[in-house]
Amino acid sequence: MVEGRKPHFPSETASKGRPRGSAQMSGSNAQFAAFQQAVTALCDAARLSLADAEQLRPLRDRHETFAAGALVQPPQRKDRLRLITSGWLYEARLLPDGRRQIFGYLLPGDLVTGRHGARTTRSALFALTRVDTTELTAALAAAPGAGRTSLSEGLARALEQQEHRGYGALVRLGQYTAQERMAHLIIELRDRLARVGQASRTSFRAPLTQEHLADTLGLSLIHVNRVLRQLRNENLLTIKFGMVTLLQPEKLELLAAGAAGR
Amino acid sequence: MVEGRKPHFPSETASKGRPRGSAQMSGSNAQFAAFQQAVTALCDAARLSLADAEQLRPLRDRHETFAAGALVQPPQRKDRLRLITSGWLYEARLLPDGRRQIFGYLLPGDLVTGRHGARTTRSALFALTRVDTTELTAALAAAPGAGRTSLSEGLARALEQQEHRGYGALVRLGQYTAQERMAHLIIELRDRLARVGQASRTSFRAPLTQEHLADTLGLSLIHVNRVLRQLRNENLLTIKFGMVTLLQPEKLELLAAGAAGR
DNA sequence: CGCGATTTTGAGCCATGTCAATCGGAGTGG
DNA sequence: CCACTCCGATTGACATGGCTCAAAATCGCG
């Protein structure tokens, strides 16, 4: 388990059962389901009741979609929030000599804010896949004049939680060994994806290349590959065709907690 | 130069002239000067006018002091802010096996908020030296009902800037070599201290042990020592009795920018 | 079938970590 | 003033994790 509270995994093979690419569910139905899951995850993170979730539904007005690989312009005004309903983003800084540090990923259920890709962070947001977002209207983010609603407070909590992931990343880079870093990232992604029903306890799919992993974990591409081989040989983890499989989730969780003895 | 805008260094030996420990200036005078410098730095970071600074003066009501080494309880309510007028703090997380990651330092002119040392970050705040703080009253932090004052907006900017330092730290840990990390940290501290008149372009004093440096930079204590020796041998930097001297500031700035070719 | 992107592997080197010891200054008690 | 101790800085010898370079294998796709 990484940051935050422990998720529970409903059915062992939540996302494995239904084939993803060849799905036949009608487009808008699938979209609606995606939106619902994103809202559910958001409310979970925000510790909001379902009643509050109701208020979020009508706000699904301004959609925006980004193509895979696109540079994403975050909302200008900081009282605007965009909810990711599907797809992955990453935030990164590029150094003059070509090095790249990926600060983190934004997944369905996460909020894109003006803080992302700001000039002060010298970072930019990129779409890792096709990404669908929905704008949540301004009134929600900032306490509207008179009082702060439970909704706005919840959103603030969710945002805070998102931002606090940076602390985990800092520990990962500063203190963890290569194996631990990998385990930590995998567990983080699994837990976050589980909140939107896109991961079971033991597997999920991730649109990441080993180069992304390298630039996230502060390792060389080649070493990432070796670490993955080690984990595979130790029967802890496999990644094949973008499908991540945790063979021994408990051991990985221990590694990720930095509690495996060093 | 690290994050943010370029500081200018008024007189080459700003802080070197006046002996610090044996100072004779009357206590309250010195305190007042410290407060003024902290406010000046804060306004600088917040891009606030001096007129706004005026508003900050009368708020100097609730002082609080922490002893060196003390665990510091951050403000509970997040609309409370404490301005550091003197002394250093650091925020860190301790791992079960004894490893420690220092996330960053809080210096005079910085604000201590409820976000520091929060449960979600699993971090704690420690006083590195004796620390004096002044509470800025609630009305300032949150836009008070009707409108957001330029003051509250400025404070929000300052806070954002503070939080964005994490990005720099992430790059430092993820992409930089040991030498670059050291240079980056030193330059960051120098530039921030310069804003409160506690650093010249070429020197400042820092209450850090090599162990603090190690836990900040993700290096072993011993390697920190070696890196310092290298930098000393290359005539770039010396640290002696807590006095940091930048022998070749330009070269260090290059290193710190990650632009020294790798 | 062929090409570009990604993954995998091997060989060798260097940065960084670990272990063990010494050294130096600051305080403390005699 | 000395002996002692503690903490931090320093150093050396050695081990190793992670990096670089170079090349092959594999996959995705037109």
Q: What's the token pair of residue B238?
A: 């010396």
pLDDT in tens, B16-68: 333 333 333 445 677 788 888 898 889 888 888 877 777 776 665 688 999 99
For the ranges A129-143, A149-163, B56-70, B177-191, the one whose mean pLDDT is highest: B177-191
Report pLDDT for A6.
55
Q: Which of A75-84, A114-123, B14-23 has the highest mean pLDDT?
A: A114-123
CA A71 to chain centroid: 17
Nucleotide nearest to A239 (CA to C1'): C7
Tokens of B1: 């130069």
Q: Across chain B, what does the average pLDDT equal?
A: 85
pLDDT of B77 higher than 90: no
Q: How far is B94 from chain A (nearest CA, A)?
A: 9
Can you list the pairs that A153-156 forms with residues at least 24 positions away whose Cβ atoms lie under 8 Å? Answer: A154/A43, A154/A46, A154/A47, A154/A48, A154/A52, A155/A42, A155/A46, A155/A81, A155/A111
What crossing angle do the helices spanning A210-217 and A178-194 adopt, rounded to 10°?
110
> What CA–CA distance (Å, rounded) separates B123 from A162?
16
pLDDT the model gives residue A105: 98
Q: Is A122 helix (H, G, I), strand (E, B) or coil?
A: coil
Q: Considering only residues 125-164 of protein chain A, which place a Cβ less than 7 A from any atom of strand D?
A: none
Tell which strand C nucleotides have any atom below 7 Å from a protein Cβ.
Answer: 5-11, 15-20
Amino acid at residue number B181: R
Pick the residue of A173, A182, A184 with the most B CBs within 10 A to test the interface with B by mutation. A173
Share of residues in chain A with pLDDT > 70 (%): 82
pLDDT of residue B16: 37
Is the confidence at residue A21, as pLDDT, over 90? no
Q: ∠ CA A203-A209-A210 to the nearest 5 degrees?
A: 95
- A121 interfacial to chain B (CB closer than 8 Å): yes
Contacts of B23 (CB under 8 A, 6+ apart): B30
Closest residue by Cα to residue B86 from B132, B144, B150: B132
What's the CA gap between A223 and B140, in Å, rounded?
49
**Separation between Cα atoms, residue A52 and residue B33, nearest integer Å:** 49
Determine whether the distance from the CB of A241 to the nearest atom of strand D is below 7 Å.
yes
Q: Strand C closer than 7 Å to the CB of A54?
A: no
CB contact under 8 A, B262 and A4: no
Asked if the model's pLDDT at residue A2 lies above 90, the reply is no
Tokens of residue B145, six digits? 């009902």
Q: Is the CB of A262 within 7 Å of strand C? A: yes
Per residue in A173-207, pLDDT (tens digit) is 999 999 999 999 999 999 999 999 999 999 999 99
Q: Do A170 and B122 touch (CB under 8 A)?
A: no
Residue ranges in A3-108 assigned as alpha helix (H) = 27-46, 50-56
Report which residue type is found at B111.
L
Grade residue A228 by pLDDT with cuts at 50, 70 and 90. Answer: very high
Contacts of A217 by beta carbon, 8 Å cutoff, 6+ apart: A172, A173, A178, A181, A182, A185, A224, B174
Contact B97 A170 (CB under 8 A): no
Nucleotide nearest to B218 (CA to C1'): C16
The confidence band for A141, taking pLDDT boundaries of 50, 70 and 90, is very low
Residues of B in contact with A99 (CB under 8 A): 175, 258, 262
Residue A41 has pLDDT above 80, yes or no: yes
Helix axes A150-175, A27-46, angle to 10 degrees: 80
Please give the average per-residue pLDDT across A99-122, as a whole number: 95
For a pLDDT cut of 90, what percent of chain A falls above it?
Answer: 61
Measured between alpha carbons, how far is B110 from B133 in angstroms, rounded to an integer?
10
> Which of the nucleotides in strand D have any atom less than 7 Å away from a protein CB atom?
8-13, 17-22, 27-28
